[in-house]
Amino acid sequence: MNTRIDAELKAAGDAALAHLGYTPSAAVRGLWRFVVDHQDDAAAVREVIEPDAASALSDEASRKAAAIAGLRSLYEQTACELGIPGEAEAGLPSWDDLREDWYDERLEGEA
């Protein structure tokens, strides 16, 4: 396999690998094994191959989570102003209760 690697990065990488007792070929095989073992986890592969990109995605995810939290807060405020009951006041079942009811119905149907 021929790859293009910056000369300084290659020298530093070769030295670090040698210090750890690995060859460049062993490192490539290890990377390939990691990618195969984590093929369903794009974030883990991205973190190894492009750590800066993974960090940028984390920043984007944080920004989106903050936007969602802001929307939820705005919804709760608006619902309160309009007299719409919140989740606790509406008497809605919890997700755990819904899941248990679903399993109970499935078991009754199979019996």
**What is the pLDDT, as a whole number, of residue 1?**
81
Looking at per-residue confidence, does 85 or 68 come out higher? Answer: 68
**What is the model's pTM?**
0.47
Does residue 87 surpass a pLDDT of 70?
no
Does residue 110 surpass a pLDDT of 80?
no
Domain boundaries, the chain: 1-37, 45-111
For residues 1-29, give the mean pLDDT: 94
Distance in angstroms (rounded) separating the CA atoms of residues 36 and 44: 11
Torsion 99-101-102-106 (CA) sign: positive
**What is the pLDDT, as a whole number, of residue 54?**
60
Q: Any residues with CB less than 8 A from the CB of 76 and at least 6 apart, and which?
A: 86
